[in-house]
Amino acid sequence: MYPESPLIVTFAAGTSGAWFIDSVETVAGAGLPWAPRLAVIEGGAPTPPSLWRLAGTTSNLRYTMAAERAAMGAVTEGLGRAAATRAALIPITKSPAWWAMAQDERRAVFEEQSRHIRIGMEAMPAVARRLHHCRDLGGEFDFLTWFEFAPEHEPAFDRMLASLRATPEWRYVLRETDIRLTRADA
């Protein structure tokens, strides 16, 4: 599900890039300005001039257990599917209280209380997903999650987001922006 080595990915919002930015909605905390396009640059290649840029890295699993990974693997689709012409970029920052918890405390909120993995799986395989971590990079967000799906699956994606935002885990979300995009060649 993840490459063996962390992959750095930069999301640069400006006037170039493979994705049109359809909307930028502030869900919580400080927002981000809209720009016409978003470039998704992998591996630290140069980024075009941009209004804002956010960078994160793929990493090892932090909460997912082996049985959950196996269940997810059976329904996981990769990025870049021809039919997946819609995308969402959702940057999130969690609170100091979240990060101060021990591993078992965070896991309990994440899955036993919030069923984060189970809710996410309900939108799979229609929705493909890649998580990027940026807290340890000193970024202004903790996570950047990128989702890709066909236009007809956007309602399922929206239902998944609504379910997640109603969980105990989301009480720890201080900042969240919901950016929707359409592939420029679609």
- Cα separation, 146 vs 163, in Å, equals 18
- Shortest CB 37 distance to its own copies, Å: 27
109/97 Cα distance (integer angstroms) = 12
> With respect to its own copies, which residue has the nearer C-beta, 104 or 185?
104
Is residue 131 within 8 A of residue 143, CB to CB? The reply is yes
**Nearer of residues 82 and 102 to its own copies, judged by Cβ:** 102
Given the complex with its own copies, which of 29 and 36 has the nearer CB atom? 29
Closest CB 58 distance from its own copies, rounded Å? 9
Report, in Å, the least distance between residue 103 CB and its own copies.
Answer: 5
Question: Closer to its own copies at the Cβ: 23 or 95?
Answer: 95
Centre a 10 Å sphere on the Cβ of residue 160 and count the other Cβ atoms it contains.
21
Cα separation values, 13 from 18, 35, 38, 179, 180, Å:
11, 6, 4, 11, 12
Q: In angstroms, rounded to a whole number, what is the distance separating the alpha carbons of residues 135 and 119?
A: 24
SS3 52: strand
| Radius of gyration from C-alpha coordinates of the chain | 16
Comparison of 43 and 80: residue with beta carbon closer to its own copies? 43
**Nearest distance in Å: CB 114, its own copies:** 16
Tokens of 39: 């470039």
Q: How far is the CB of 11 from its own copies (least distance, A)?
A: 17
Q: Which residues bind its own copies (CB under 8 A)?
A: 4, 6, 8, 44, 57, 59-66, 68-69, 96, 99-107, 133, 135-138
